[in-house]
Amino acid sequence: MSNPVPQTLAGRTVLLGVSGSIAAYKACELVRECVKRGAEVHVLMTANAAAFVTPLTFQTLSRNPVTQGLYDQIEEWKPGHIALSDRGDVLCIAPATANVIAKLACGLADDALTSAALAYGGPLVIAPAMNSGMYAHPATQGNLAVLRQRGAVIVEPEQGELACGTTGAGRLAPVPAILAAIEQAVAAHPRTA
């Protein structure tokens, strides 16, 4: 008999942003682990993320519709990405590309994910994944510093072989590390209502 999974996210809403990185496939496991822990998971995908993993995969794993467009899932009068940002207990972006990180740091909101992130007022967890040169670039490091200063939790990428054939920092952190950051963020921000 297997041990039951602790319900550390029971009754909480996890917003999971997925951007266009080969590491997007690891977000599937992250969705499963959050659901196992009792979370209601809503996935917001960039168009580039859908080139790596289909929205149907995330819909099946999360048991919720996937938001891709700015005006998906219009709830009465409120666009879906805004309605989700109002309901989320934590927003985790995993994988977060250099492009999405730059948009977050500058307040750019040109798709459902970045618009929801700009509207969201709760805890933000960011797990970068990209080429090691892109990760080490002063612009990316500066953007991450801005986001840290604003209170975002950055789950540092691992060193290792990358999809582009190079070796260095830039591999998405292991799912357990990202999950732990989500659980800590939710625990630190109890529901008020």
Catalytic residues: 164
- Crossing angle for the helix pair 175-188 and 24-36, to the nearest 10 degrees: 50
Q: Of 134, 138, 123, which is closest to residue 183 (Cα–Cα)?
A: 123
Cα–Cα distance, 156 to 173 (Å, whole number): 6
Neighbours of 95 (CB within 10 A): 30
Q: For residues 185 and 90, is the Cβ–Cβ distance under 8 A? A: yes
Cα–Cα distance, 161 to 124 (Å, whole number): 27
